[in-house]
Amino acid sequence: QVWEWKSWEHLDPDLDIITMQDKRTEWTHGNTVSEMDNGDILVSFRNISTVVVVNKQSGLISWKLGSPPLAQQHDPKELPNGNILIFDNGTHRNDHPVPHSRVIEINPSTNEIVWTYQEPTSYNFFSPYISGAQRLANGNTLICEGNFGRLFEVTSDGELVWEFVNPYFHIPKDAPDSPPSNSVFRALRYTEEQLPYLTTK
């Protein structure tokens, strides 16, 4: 064993609570774990709408962001400028009556939202689960609206560059009675340098 961290030793179910709508069989629902540039660990807990940074040396939580502004988020990523990009799914929001998704960039030093992508009409952009976002080298942001299988890229001003909707539908194996879905869990852009074995000569 190299390293271990247990959420129940550092989070409090009386403070880090799940919503009334969620099942009581699962508390935190960790959905993303990634190592940061300084070696600390960035973790997202969907059911308690919380993102934390864990000091890898001490195991203590060095940074924590909850609800609001977050609402059952996915896929936090550390950016080169030190900020954190988050797909904020928006299920069961505490700060707005209408569920809606958005992508936000957080300055962890101030917890200020310094950039947001959000549709003017809430229901035009809402993925209640899965999904993610990636800041590209050109400054644009690649977004995966997972529930509807929609992948799209926007500029820093929110202008749509391109979009693709997954045309392939399937019936989930764990829900055979559900309607067909074209959902996409996550999308990432790779450069030729990152995948040299796919480059044709």
Does the model's pTM come out above 0.85? Answer: yes
Strand 61-65: give its sheet, edge to edge. Answer: 30-35, 41-45, 50-54, 61-65
Q: 29-198, superfamily in CATH? A: TolB, C-terminal domain (2.120.10.30)
- So what's the pLDDT on residue 83? 99
pLDDT tens digits, residue range 114-136?
999 999 998 899 999 999 999 99
Q: CA 168 to CA 156: how far, in whole Å?
A: 30
Query: Which residues lie closer than 8 Å to 20 by C-beta, 6 or more apart?
Result: none
Tokens encoding 108: 């962890």
Report residues of the chain scoring pLDDT below 70: 200-201
- So what's the pLDDT on residue 198? 84
- So what's the pLDDT on residue 201? 63
- So what's the pLDDT on residue 51? 99
Q: CA 108 to CA 101: how far, in whole Å?
A: 20
